């Protein structure tokens, strides 16, 4: 039997039999928008998780049925507009067209209001005509539902007053419309903050779209089997290793595999293996889009800590955020894993790409600056060395060694060499000679117990020499990952202290 690729439309909004599962989410849309009462709904989730497909199939695909019930659904991609007035112009235009098609008896009044909106010169006048238009809809028992795709663009298009206007038209009982936003970020993150005003995001129910459920996966594969293909368990397991239950990644891989075959009677496992190498770059690109979203949410480092380690400033709130995205899930022994095993491996690769030497150099500079601040506060800017040795006689030998090193550098490099003793300290010197001398002072920066920091500075001391001489291979990858985490932890603590 000749095979037409069943995934040829992957990457776009899917409809009809290509839209499978998501029945729980469809029910949430129905309950929120189409019952006797209604409200607003924010659909959010990872890139390419199927947000637009869900909204389209849950709302717009039912346009004919809905309009008979006097519910008018619109689809407006926000990326096409530069300001609120352009958006409102499109909203009125689409609404007037649908009213003319379905309720011609009352269409004249709406055309007049739309014309008045277009002719109005001032922004405030245009907003008033929009409210008159919506009030007229309400008086005629017509419910307007506006699905706004690409709502992440609202951050660059709408100002505080625009968000307040949208809140008004979806909250005021005389003009109330239903708004459905489709975005990666939450409305709270997109909306300008003003504590004196009511927030737009507070009048929304949230629908966080996750990966396919087990029931969705059964429907996904049953559709493919209906065309006569034999899908082995090994093929499914191999695919899940790279895609997990991510709808787009499933489609993308399947499309490329099925593009290599023309007949239904063929060994898909072998085709998958032959296709995989060419797919990896595409996979990496999609993984990067997920990581970039985590960067925007300040969660990239937290994700690497959770999966790769070490965990040094990871909070339960961070974990909850990652779980909300359905990006990670609980595994065995209180550990976590990502949605796909291969994405786990990719995170390990990303962590190993971090060039720790510049990071450690910055860390050294920051620690030395803190030590210098300590010395000034406690001993003053002049003759601090003698005062320090007098108060810490056990540190005399170390101070003498540092003085010898400084003299040698001044002799070799003249005025290019530093004349501050602290600039010649290495990790263990910083810890054992200076931080140890007055833990009460340094505790306000680093926290925890003094003994908690010893193994951390021990590892950094061990790591420094190989890194400084470009011999990173002398250290195990696990040691490099942990050292990276320690440097990041120290920098965050110092930066926080300096801000305060």
| Domain finish residue from 208, 227, 249 | 208
Residue 271 domain-assigned (yes or no): yes
Same domain, 414 and 277: no
Spatial CA neighbour of 140 closest among 179, 109, 111, 101:
109
What pLDDT score was predicted for residue 459? 84
Residues 79-127 pLDDT 10s = 989 999 999 999 999 999 999 999 999 999 999 999 999 999 999 999 9
Residue-number span of the structural domain to which 132 is assigned: 22-208
Same domain, 84 and 105: yes
Same domain, 241 and 188: no
Confidence of residue 1 (pLDDT cuts 50, 70, 90): very low
- Across all residues in the chain, what is the average pLDDT? 87
Residue 335 domain-assigned (yes or no): no
Residue 204 domain-assigned (yes or no): yes
Question: What average pLDDT does this structure show over 191-197?
Answer: 75
| Residue 453, token pair as written in the block | 């920091």
Same domain, 39 and 181: yes
| Domain finish residue from 149, 183, 208 | 208
Angle between helices 341-353 and 300-307 (to 10 degrees): 110
Residue 6 domain-assigned (yes or no): no
Same domain, 222 and 200: no
| Residue 460, token pair as written in the block | 């950094």
Same domain, 54 and 189: yes
| Domain finish residue from 208, 239, 260 | 208
Same domain, 393 and 436: yes
Q: Which CATH number fits the domain that encloses residue 154?
A: 3.40.50.300
Same domain, 164 and 232: no
Among 176-185, 262-271, 376-385, the range with the most confident prediction by mean pLDDT is 176-185
Residue 186 domain-assigned (yes or no): yes
Same domain, 192 and 253: no
Same domain, 126 and 168: yes
Spatial CA neighbour of 181 closest among 208, 210, 141, 211:
208
Residue 3 domain-assigned (yes or no): no
Same domain, 175 and 224: no
What pLDDT score was predicted for residue 309? 65
**Residue 425 and residue 433: Cα distance in Å, rounded?**
9
Residues 114-127 pLDDT 10s = 999 999 999 999 99
Q: What is the pTM of this model?
A: 0.72
Residue 329 domain-assigned (yes or no): no
**Sequence-separated (6 or more) residues with CB below 8 Å from residue 59:** 29, 33, 66, 73, 75, 145, 147, 180
- As for how many domains the chain has, the answer is 3
On the 0-12 / 13-18 / 19+ scale of CB atoms within 10 A, 473 is: exposed
Confidence of residue 430 (pLDDT cuts 50, 70, 90): confident
CB contact at 8 A, 192 and 163: yes
Same domain, 363 and 417: yes
**Residue 438 and residue 423: Cα distance in Å, rounded?**
19
Q: Other C-beta atoms within 10 Å of 108: how many?
A: 11
């Amino acid at each position: 039997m000749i095979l037409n690729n069943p995934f040829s439309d992957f990457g776009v909004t899917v409809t009809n039999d290509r839209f499978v599962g998501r029945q729980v989410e469809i029910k949430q849309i129905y309950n929120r928008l189409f019952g006797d009462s209604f409200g607003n709904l924010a659909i959010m989730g990872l890139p390419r998780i199927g947000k637009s497909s869900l909204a389209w199939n849950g709302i717009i695909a039912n346009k004919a049925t809905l309009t008979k019930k006097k519910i008018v659904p619109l689809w407006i991609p926000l990326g096409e507009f530069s300001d609120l007035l352009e958006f409102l112009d499109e909203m009125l235009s689409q609404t007037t067209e649908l009213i003319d098609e379905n309720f011609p008896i009352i269409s004249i009044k709406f055309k007049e209001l739309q014309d008045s909106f277009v002719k109005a010169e001032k922004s405030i006048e245009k907003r008033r005509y929009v409210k008159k238009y919506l009030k007229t809809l309400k008086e005629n028992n017509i419910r307007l539902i506006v699905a706004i795709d690409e709502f992440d663009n609202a951050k660059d298009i709408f100002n505080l007053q625009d968000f307040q206007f949208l809140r008004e038209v979806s909250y005021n009982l005389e003009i109330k419309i239903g708004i459905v936003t489709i975005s990666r970020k939450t409305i709270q993150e997109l909306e300008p903050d003003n504590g004196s005003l009511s927030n737009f995001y507070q009048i929304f129910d949230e629908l966080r779209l996750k990966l396919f459920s087990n029931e969705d996966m059964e429907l996904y594969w049953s559709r493919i089997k209906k065309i006569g293909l034999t899908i082995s368990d090994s093929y499914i397991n191999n695919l899940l290793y790279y895609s997990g239950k991510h709808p787009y990644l499933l489609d993308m891989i399947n499309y490329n595999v099925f593009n290599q075959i023309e007949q239904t009677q063929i060994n898909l496992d072998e085709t998958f293996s032959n296709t995989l190498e060419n797919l990896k770059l595409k996979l990496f690109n999609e993984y990067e889009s997920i990581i970039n979203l985590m960067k925007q949410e300040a969660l990239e480092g937290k994700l690497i800590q959770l999966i790769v380690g070490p965990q040094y400033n990871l909070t339960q709130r961070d974990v909850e955020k990652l779980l909300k995205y359905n990006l990670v899930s609980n595994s065995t022994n209180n550990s976590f894993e990502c949605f796909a095993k291969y994405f786990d491996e990719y995170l390990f690769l990303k962590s190993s790409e971090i060039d720790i030497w510049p990071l450690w150099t910055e860390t050294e500079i920051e620690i030395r600056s803190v030590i210098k601040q300590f010395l000034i506060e406690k001993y003053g800017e002049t003759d601090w060395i003698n005062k320090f040795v007098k108060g810490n006689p056990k540190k005399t030998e170390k101070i003498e060694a540092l003085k010898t090193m400084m003299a040698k550098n001044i002799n070799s490099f003249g005025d290019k060499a530093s004349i501050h003793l602290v600039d010649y300290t290495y990790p263990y010197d910083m810890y054992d000679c200076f931080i140890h001398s007055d833990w009460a002072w340094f505790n306000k920066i680093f926290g925890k117990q003094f003994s908690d920091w010893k193994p951390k500075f021990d590892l950094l001391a061990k790591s420094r020499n190989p890194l400084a001489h470009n011999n990173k291979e002398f250290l195990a990858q696990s040691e490099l990952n942990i050292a990276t985490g320690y440097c990041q932890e120290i920098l965050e603590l110092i930066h926080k202290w300096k801000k305060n």
